[in-house]
Amino acid sequence: MTVVLFRVDERLIHGQVVVGWGRLLEAESLVVVSDELAGSASEQEIYRTGLPSGLEADFWTEAMAAARLPEVMESDARILVLTPDLGTMWRLAVAGVPIHEVNVGGLHAASGRESVLPYVYLDPDDRQRVRDFEAAGVRVTAQDVPGGVRVRLERVL
């Protein structure tokens, strides 16, 4: 399985992911890593209902993702890994998932967060996660859609 993109996006499965990145990268499967969604069949159904044919979605806990991703990345399927926040992606990296670059999509305005880009708002923990990734040699770039401006987040913190 080839991971075509590791993306942090609190909307998870939505237009930019399915239409923009999914089509461009020819993703066959979306893997959403979220303990909350992995335990909710009804929420999973709401997300899956709108998917176009040919694109599947799986919902894994962080523990499942940490255990399965290194192994399944050796198959031929093309998957796009989604987490709702930087903290989840960081924990996957710490657990040994070989993440070489992180794409950040929408992290929207919320209490405690400050804007660094029109579609990226970060709190102090998020900023630290970006620095942690960069210190570990993992580039963190913000780019909402293919063709959009790609911004190295470390440079706008």
Partner 1 sequence: MIVAHGGLAEGFLSALTRVAGPQENLWPLSNEALSGEALTARLGELLDARARGREVFLFTDLDAGSCGLAGRRLLADDRVRAVFFGINLPLLIEFVFRQAEPLDKLVPLMITKSRAALGVRP
Q: Using CB under 8 A, list all residues that contact partner 1.
A: 10-15, 18-19, 42, 46-47, 49-52, 106, 108-110, 118-119
- Rounded to a whole number of angstroms, the minimum distance from the CB of residue 149 to partner 1 is 17
- Rounded to a whole number of angstroms, the minimum distance from the CB of residue 46 to partner 1 is 5
- For partner 1, the closer of residues 11 and 127 by Cβ is 11
Q: Report the relative pairing of strands 114-117 and 120-122 from DSSP bridges.
A: antiparallel
- Rounded to a whole number of angstroms, the minimum distance from the CB of residue 96 to partner 1 is 30
How far, CA to CA in Å, does 11 sit from each of 2, 17, 56, 119? 23, 9, 17, 12
- Rounded Cα distance between 130 and 123, Å, is 11
- Rounded Cα distance between 151 and 156, Å, is 8
- Rounded to a whole number of angstroms, the minimum distance from the CB of residue 14 to partner 1 is 4
- For partner 1, the closer of residues 46 and 149 by Cβ is 46
Cα 3 to the center of its chain, rounded Å: 11
Q: Report the relative pairing of strands 78-83 and 56-60 from DSSP bridges.
A: unpaired
For residue 17, report the phi and psi dihedrals to the nearest 5 degrees.
-80, -50
- For partner 1, the closer of residues 6 and 119 by Cβ is 119
Residue 42 is classified by DSSP as H
CB 99 within 8 A of CB 92: yes
- Rounded to a whole number of angstroms, the minimum distance from the CB of residue 38 to partner 1 is 17
- For partner 1, the closer of residues 55 and 72 by Cβ is 55
- For partner 1, the closer of residues 46 and 136 by Cβ is 46
Q: What is the C-alpha end-to-end distance of the chain, expressed in Å?
A: 33
